[in-house]
Structure 1
Amino acid sequence: MYQYIIRLVFVISFLFVFSTLSIGQQLVKENVEPQQITSNYEFTEGPLWHSSGYLLFSDIPANTVYKWSAEKGASTYLKPSGHANGLTFDNQGHLLLAQHDGAIARENERGEITVVIDNYKGKRLNSPNDLVVKSDGSIYFTDPSFGVSDEDKELAFQGVYRYSKKNGLQLLVDDFALPNGIVFSPDEEKLYVNDSKHNHIRVFKVKKDGTVGSGEVFATMESEGDGAADGMKVDKDGNLYSTGPGGLWIFSPSGELLQQLESPRITNLAWGGAENKTLFMTAPNAVYKLKMTKEGIQ
């Protein structure tokens, strides 16, 4: 009964706000509602769709990555996971994990987990949180202090990094309070990073060498409600989708608020399903899916 009530509140809240907003483009399919696909978790994060038809997502406290498909439901994919948060694939299709245990790790063809990078200039990374891979194969990731104890913390800042085989680990930005979600624009000329403490999104111009400029605030999410600036994704038109206080926020490429969809707390997002037009949302003791009109970029 409790799970039914929670789901009903989620649906009513979502549909109420959607039906009362008037915007220039319809981003959510008409007459659809968010559908809970699996539940009863501790804190879900890092949803990631595989083109063969399944979703991976992490449960950080449970130290587990789960695999869900419409045919088989949810099952354990990886345990222990290094308390993984964000998940993505590299350009060869290998799973990459941002581990709160202090590393970026990769799964090889044999299913073995190996560390890609776990330190900056000999000091332990804090708790890598989210990550994205550029077309050149370099890995960009955020490193807040959510999952590291004061005793284990070795860095005095919470950075945004770039890792490549050629250049190793490069610190891009070190002035975030709590860097979290990270995503490129479709042309990879802009890098978006949000800050959970300030509930704003910053945008950086990506230089030819892969580093970034000083950046500026792209959008601020000021609202009542549970949640914070956390996971982000973009669609093929360059619209930016971010979790935030009160639910899901959608911005145009110029930073205009297109839509704010009220819901209970959501933590991260992933495009998937047919034509990448389904938005999967971790929320955080459950996972939902919602049909959209736009095609997303994983």
Structure 2
Amino acid sequence: MSSVARLTRRGLLGGLAGLAASPAVGHALGSIVSSPSVISSPPRTWGVDETPANLPDPDVLPLDPSFGLVNYGNSPLRKLWQGSGWLEGPAWCTVGRFLLLSDTITSCQYRYDPEDGPQGHMSLYRRQSFNANGNTFDAEGRLITCEHGMRRVIRWEHDGSVNVLADRYRGKTLNSPNDVVVAPDGGIWFTDPAYGDGVVEGHADVDGPANPQRHLNPYLDAELTAQYGGLRRQEDHTFRVDPKTGKVEAVLGQKDVAGPNGLCFSPDGTRLYVASSGVAAGSQPPLPDHAIHVFDMKQGRPTNGRLFTDFTLAGRAMRPDGLRADVEGNLWCGAWGPLGLCGVFIYNPHGQMIGRIRLPVGCSNLTFGGPKRNILYMCCGTALFSLITATQGAGHS
């Protein structure tokens, strides 16, 4: 495993922020640079109202002619907003015409209205989200959210009540539900790694491999203490919640995909993609391989698991995060790694990278939104970026 692969995604922000990989600026891969704007030529400031001097955008990179079918060359990358702790879980609300976002560190959720002013408007949506992460809307327009803090998946009903869809498996509490999607049959699928099993994005385990010395105390927050139980790290799983019975079923285990993070279905629902991301606190072998895995869907269950891509670029082991599919079956993937390489990778259904988007920081999660579902929204640490595309997001992804 390379040194990059062993780093946490948070560590990449600091430890790799000075690494450049852009031939345009004449730096060899891994060299140290002082300017934060080395990835574009000419350099860009990445201000909220900044646009590149030239189009097509120099940081939207076609790698195969087929990328031209989904890339709109007259659209620049835009930095829409900055100011959060750590943005995750973007989900487009079709009825409300807004983008919902989670801030896992400050434990709140935001509402971004793209039609309110030239740059849109960000406002507070939920003051206490219990370190919410992934979000999605089902076919009835109900919001489904993964909560690290409560270690559960919830659904907001139309009457404003909260329905807990999953918080336990075989009598044990979950780790920290991360990403969630709705399958074509209405089943709710979510990943349950342990990235939130700490004091920053959730709460610590009582003891066990994620808190072996019991130095971390999960009972300090009076608002949450009554709901915390004997919480300990368990195996990584990818779960399915049956839409009729509510039964929580482990459809993939740690041996299938360790450290599962982003997931999505192909547009026709015949494939499931799952990203294996970083090593979390208390992880036991098998450890994540920092790759994307694909499964064939047979009778509603994943089979024939195999490697979709090892997620390397320019000889560097990168880190996949959130995933979304477009209507052509291409996979758009958030990528962590050195400056100049990190951003978004786009793969065709055969696992070939056909394009990529360079960003000044790695992308944790992304989704397609807008009235036509053709705007790619990208959560990148403390900032939100967007790009108008020539395709649309798959409806259930």
Tell me if TM exceeds 0.5. yes
**One of 281, 286, 293 as aligned partner of 1:202:** 293
Change (3 A) 1:138 1:39: same
SS where residue 68 of structure 1 aligns? strand
**One of 67, 82, 88 as aligned partner of 1:39:** 82
Change (3 A) 1:112 1:10: farther
**Which residue does 2:379 correspond to in 1?**
282
1:226 positional shift: 11
What is the rounded CA distance, in whole Å, between the counterparts of 2:63 and 2:184 in structure 1? 36
**Which residue does 2:114 correspond to in 1?**
70
Bigger-Rg structure (1/2): 2
**Which residue does 1:131 correspond to in 2?**
180
Change (3 A) 1:17 1:36: closer
**Which residue does 1:163 correspond to in 2?**
241
CA root-mean-square deviation: 2.6
CA contact (8 A) 2:156 2:163 kept: yes
Instruction: Give ranges in structure 2 of 5+ residues lacking alignment.
Output: 1-35, 38-43, 198-203, 207-229, 279-288, 337-341
Change (3 A) 1:92 1:195: same
TM-score computed with the length of structure 1 as normaliser: 0.90
**One of 255, 261, 267 as aligned partner of 1:180:** 261
Change (3 A) 1:44 1:78: same
SS where residue 296 of structure 1 aligns? coil
What is the rounded CA distance, in whole Å, between the counterparts of 2:169 and 2:61 in structure 1? 48
What is the rounded CA distance, in whole Å, between the counterparts of 2:268 and 2:169 in structure 1? 29
TM-score computed with the length of structure 2 as normaliser: 0.69
Q: What number of residue pairs does the alignment pair up?
A: 295
Change (3 A) 1:166 1:10: farther
Alignment partner of 1:50 is 2:93:
yes
What is the rounded CA distance, in whole Å, between the counterparts of 1:257 and 1:63 in structure 2? 35
SS where residue 25 of structure 1 aligns? helix
Change (3 A) 1:95 1:143: same
**Which residue does 2:347 correspond to in 1?**
251
**Which residue does 1:147 correspond to in 2?**
196
What is the rounded CA distance, in whole Å, between the counterparts of 1:183 and 1:50 in structure 2? 18
SS where residue 60 of structure 2 aligns? helix
CA contact (8 A) 1:227 1:265 kept: no
2:327 is aligned with what amino acid?
Answer: K
What is the rounded CA distance, in whole Å, between the counterparts of 2:246 and 2:370 in structure 1? 35
1:223 positional shift: 3.4
Counterpart mapping for 1:44-123 below 5 A? 44-52=87-95, 53-72=97-116, 73-101=121-149, 102-123=151-172
**One of 277, 299, 309 as aligned partner of 1:219:** 309
What is the rounded CA distance, in whole Å, between the counterparts of 1:19 and 1:172 in structure 2? 36
Write out the 4+ residue segments of structure 1 that deviate beyond 6 Å after TM superposition: 8-12, 224-227
Alignment partner of 1:228 is 2:319:
yes
Alignment partner of 1:25 is 2:25:
no
Q: Deviations over 1:27-84 (max 9, x none)?
A: 3211322112221000001111112321111101111111111244111111211211
Identity %: 30
1:17 positional shift: 4.5
CA contact (8 A) 2:345 2:356 kept: yes
What is the rounded CA distance, in whole Å, between the counterparts of 1:255 and 1:79 in structure 2? 40
CA contact (8 A) 2:142 2:156 kept: yes
CA contact (8 A) 2:194 2:233 kept: no
SS where residue 58 of structure 2 aligns? helix
**Which residue does 2:58 correspond to in 1?**
16
